[in-house]
Amino acid sequence: MKKVLYIAYFFPPVSGAGVQRSLKFSKYLQLYGWHPIIVTVKNSTYPLEDMSLLKDCMDNMEIVRVNSPLESIFRDGKAPKYLRPLLNYPDRHWGFALQAFLKARKYMKSVDAIITTSSPVSSHLAGYLLKTLYGVPWVADFRDPWTMNPFYKPYTRVHNWLDKKLEKAIIRKADFLIITTFDKEHHFVERPPDGKCLSIPNGYDEQDFININISRQKKGVFTIGYNGGLYDDVVTETFFKGFRQFINNYHLTPDHVKLSIYGYLRDPQVQEKLKDISEYVEFHGFIEHKASIQALYQTDVLLLLTRVGPHNSDYDNCIPGKTFEYLRSGQPILHVAQKECFVSNIIREFEQGVNAFQIEDVIEALNKLYTDWKAGQLINRVDPRILLFERRELTKQLAGVLDHVTAYQHLGERKVTGEQV
């Protein structure tokens, strides 16, 4: 079995959306002839932890944990402000990237390929150095764009210039690039050569849906469910205002409708805005991933919010990771976005809910969903096309990339062709 060194900051017991991709890839790569050696962080300051995710780590999966120096100082704001642009570059996780690089060197004679995944983008710098020094085939997985990210905000123009230089260097040095969206044109500051970039989206794990109670017994309260974090932006505010007006227009009480939130809520501005509808909100806090899957079936409609970043409002292919678990559940979806985007298209194609872009759209959509619910006409249907996004199928694509980049060797230096995977 071939070996792949996988550098991933976000890995169990750290939780959150970014963890699922690396965890599931590592879980299923062994089905396709690749044994992963995971290099991840030991002392993460990320606030979410889910010990149950460790059950997905195979007994024969090798996990190496390294420290991330100074990370707590950056996170807690203890470093002087005038030093942060220098010490916090390219991100506050650079200490992890450095330690991961140092640890990874001992494996270079025994591994056949390297995968680095971002965020944090500093992980790719470890891959760049390993590729340069050892010539091992390197696959860079961009879970999110870097300088083209809608939420990208560099410290200064100099940082912006440096970031673009580094991004271009990674694009040119990596043997292969993977992205999660279907938009290769606007993902990078420089378009990768043909045959060097592949979209492997996020997905869902069918095993997560085993032993889940999917009882359709109708409850007395129309329940809108939301999984994940809530952020203060245009889309969130659009839903809140629409929900408030929907309640007022139809004189609904908490005995008629409620918003059930499963996730973390750290933004004080969102907390303040929730006060206006607080009697209609059930906040369950952060829960384990398996419990979040069960929660999908404890609601009547699932709320999906597609955020639009303030620094690149034209980028419309951000796909929340929860989208595919929502689709797999078969539950009706209320998707709120600022404009037409890939998510609105897939909701429409799967015929699994409604899209809303303005406050009036939210009111109209809620009215229709509520009316259908009262009449017992809400449809739960799993579209068979969702199988395309099953984690094992997606991992098969990743294994194909690894097979591709390791197919050619010459004098100890691996090379790839421009062929499509």
**Cα 164–chain centre separation:** 23
Position 311 pLDDT exceeds 80: no
417 — pLDDT class (breaks 50, 70, 90): very low
With pLDDT > 70 as the criterion, what percentage of the chain qualifies?
89
Position 140 pLDDT exceeds 90: yes
Confidence (pLDDT) at 339: 85
What tokens does 399 get?
């294994």
Q: Name the residue type at position 141.
A: D
Confidence (pLDDT) at 360: 96
Tokens 């260097």 appear where? 169
234-249 and 359-374 are packed helices; what angle lies between their axes, rounded to 10 degrees? 50
Q: What is the mean pLDDT of the chain?
A: 87
Give the span between the Cα atoms of 259 and 277, in whole angstroms: 9
Residue pLDDT, tens place only, 395-416: 999 999 999 999 965 434 444 3
With pLDDT > 90 as the criterion, what percentage of the chain qualifies?
58
Instruction: Return the minimum-mean-pLDDT range out of 185-194, 211-220, 281-290.
Output: 211-220
Where does residue 300 rank: exposed (0-12), middle (13-18), buried (19+ CB within 10 A)?
buried
Give the span between the Cα atoms of 164 and 238, in whole angstroms: 34
- CA proximity to 247, closest of 210, 214, 222, 213: 222
385 — pLDDT class (breaks 50, 70, 90): very high
Confidence (pLDDT) at 55: 86
Confidence (pLDDT) at 81: 67
Residues 6+ apart with CB under 8 A from 402: 2, 4, 29, 34, 112, 113, 115, 137, 139
Position 45 pLDDT exceeds 60: yes
CA angle 29, 114, 67 (to 5 degrees): 100
Confidence (pLDDT) at 408: 63
Query: Are the C-beta atoms of residues 151 and 185 closer than 8 Å to each other?
Result: no
Confidence (pLDDT) at 414: 45
Higher pLDDT, 73 or 64: 64
Position 315 pLDDT exceeds 60: no
Mean pLDDT calculated for residue range 369-378 = 92
Q: What is the 3-state secondary structure (H, E, C) of the chain?
A: CEEEEEECCCCCCECCHHHHHHHHHHHHHHHHCEEEEEEEECCCCCCCECHHHHHHCCCCCEEEEECCCCHHHHHCCCCCCCCHHHHCCCCCCHHHHHHHHHHHHHHCCCCCEEEEEECCCHHHHHHHHHHHHHCCCEEEEECCCCCCCCCCCCCCHHHHHHHHHHHHHHHHHCCEEEECCCCCCCCCCCCCCCCCEEECCCCECHHHHCCCCCCCCCCCCEEEEEECCCCCCHHHHHHHHHHHHHHHHCCCCCCCEEEEEECCCCCHHHHHHHHHHHHHEEEEECCCHHHHHHHHHHCCEEEEECCCCCCCCCCCCCCCCHHHHHHHHCCCEEEECCCCCHHHHHHHHHCCEEEECCHHHHHHHHHHHHHHHHCCCCCCCCCHHHHHHEHHHHHHHHHHHHHHHCCEEECCEEECCCCCC
Query: Are the C-beta atoms of residues 178 and 150 closer than 8 Å to each other?
Result: no
Residue pLDDT, tens place only, 236-286: 889 999 999 999 999 999 999 999 999 887 778 888 888 888 899 999 988
Mean pLDDT calculated for residue range 13-35 = 92
Residue pLDDT, tens place only, 323-357: 999 999 999 999 999 888 889 999 999 999 999 99
Tokens 């990320």 appear where? 46
Higher pLDDT, 78 or 36: 36
Residue count (the chain) = 421
Position 226 pLDDT exceeds 60: yes
What tokens does 350 get?
């799967």
Query: Are the C-beta atoms of residues 152 and 145 closer than 8 Å to each other?
Result: yes
Where does residue 133 rank: exposed (0-12), middle (13-18), buried (19+ CB within 10 A)?
exposed
Residue 257 pairs in a beta bridge with 222
Confidence (pLDDT) at 299: 93
**What is the largest distance, in Å, between two alpha-carbon atoms of the chain?**
76
Query: Are the C-beta atoms of residues 168 and 190 closer than 8 Å to each other?
Result: yes
